[in-house]
Amino acid sequence: MTRLDRRERFMATGFAAMAGMVDAIGFLASGGFFLSFMSGNSTRLSIGLAEGAPYVFMVAALIISFVGGVVWGSLTGTGKNVAANKRQAMILGGIAILLFTAPILANCGWLLPAICVAAFCMGAENTLYERDGSVSFGLTYMTGALVKIGQGIANMLRGGAKTAWLPYLFLWAGLIGGAVIGASVFARYGMFSLWIPAALAALFALMLLRTKPVLQP
């Protein structure tokens, strides 16, 4: 995160906000399950297995869908001559199409496939910033960002850099803000609220295609 320039940090915060919207919408639509926070879903899965709860299949499907999205995102645009911004645009374009499709599936009565499609998108979103085949930082889960904030504040109190932790604070705030918007819009539009993050993904994809190409490291 600290290696990104100001424009890239702005976009990363926008991606986090997009994830917050999707997660809040999916949480409300599914009755309390996450589309981007798989640690929480893993805990729910464990409890469900222990209690023999009927929601186990749904949680397992969400986790599998999320991992599938990570696989797809990691394999997309991996050629040596593919610019990093073009690769990101390809992933975001796919996310936009899938998030546009998910509410249509839900409207047809296929809620589980719809939220699994959205979870797939969240997995893919986490691959937008990869370095040497590994995710640089998470965009749809904030535990790591909160740890960075705490470490940054501790370093500042020791006399170190005073603002190194702020990009992670903005990232966290982006997710929180997106979740508030997602929950508010869901109350009126239901699953069709996913068209807002779908539009954002499409907009970000277009913005990335207009930037100067930078080859992947």
Mean pLDDT to the nearest integer, 23-39: 91
Q: In this predicted structure, what is the pLDDT of residue 136?
A: 61
Mean pLDDT to the nearest integer, 153-167: 81
Mean pLDDT to the nearest integer, 90-119: 96
pLDDT at 88 over 70: yes
Q: Cα 104 vs. chain centroid, distance in angstroms?
A: 21
For residue 113, tell me if it sits in a domain. Answer: yes
Q: In this predicted structure, what is the pLDDT of residue 165?
A: 79
**What token pair was written down for 3?**
């290696």
For residue 98, tell me if it sits in a domain. Answer: yes
For residue 99, the domain's CATH number is: 1.20.1250
Mean pLDDT to the nearest integer, 16-37: 93
Q: Structural domain of residue 168, as residue ranges?
A: 6-209
pLDDT at 133 over 90: no
Q: In this predicted structure, what is the pLDDT of residue 217?
A: 46
**What token pair was written down for 151?**
């470490």
Mean pLDDT to the nearest integer, 76-81: 72
Q: 15-34: string of b/e by CB count within 10 Å (b at 16+)?
A: bbbbbbbbbbbbbbbbeebb
Structural domain count, the chain:
1
pLDDT at 216 over 60: no
DSSP 82: S
Q: Who's near 121: CB < 8 A, 6+ residues apart?
A: 22, 69, 95, 98, 99
For residue 119, tell me if it sits in a domain. Answer: yes
**Is the four-CA dihedral 9, 13, 14, 15 of positive or negative sign?**
positive
Pair type for strands 134-135 and 130-131: antiparallel
Q: In this predicted structure, what is the pLDDT of residue 201?
A: 96
pTM: 0.87
